[in-house]
Amino acid sequence: MAADRICVGAIGGAFGVRGEVRLKSFCAQPEAIMAYAPLYSEDGTRSFTLRITRTVKNGFAARLSGVETKEQADALRGLKLYADRSKLPNLPDDEFYHADLLGLPVFDTGGAPLGTVRAIHNHGAGDILEITAPGRRQALLLPFTRQIVPTVDLTAGRIIADPPEEIE
């Protein structure tokens, strides 16, 4: 996948029998996903225009270009959709696209390495950074708050964290 694309949604499978798909948007304003079209598959080999037809539980029903049948829609189940970064809004200084944080090294406030951001989770109470390091049996899970993660320096390609002593 091109580094200049960001994952903005995923297909949950067919919705109905006329080629609509069940769409989950990862955008802060979910319906804004239409404005970022064309959307691409992860490998960039397929592109789609998108039209949301209605709101459904946990997402939208939508029409994708080139998808006319239930079977075609079902074949897209699990497909992640990517938008060109240039079409996405610029973020304030204290907000980041998850794709920009993945793989960044994390250091404590004294400069000691804590590991690398492997994943970002959100179970409803805010983002949590999953940090892995060689020799550490379990991943370090840090709340992604200004208090715990005071510095994200994308230019230098690093994160500075101040984990509470009980989770170090």
Topology (CATH level 3) of domain 98-162: SH3 type barrels. (2.30.30)
pLDDT tens-digit readout, 110-137:
999 999 999 998 887 889 999 998 888 8
Alpha-carbon span 41 to 59, nearest angstrom: 19
In which band, very low, low, confident or very high, does the pLDDT at 35 lie, cut at 50, 70 and 90?
A: very high
CATH number, domain 5-87? 2.40.30.60
Mean pLDDT of the chain: 90
Domains of the chain, by residue range, sit at 5-87, 98-162
Whole-model pTM? Answer: 0.77
Return the amino acid letter for 149: V
Q: Which of 127, 139, 63 is nearest to 96 (CA)?
A: 127
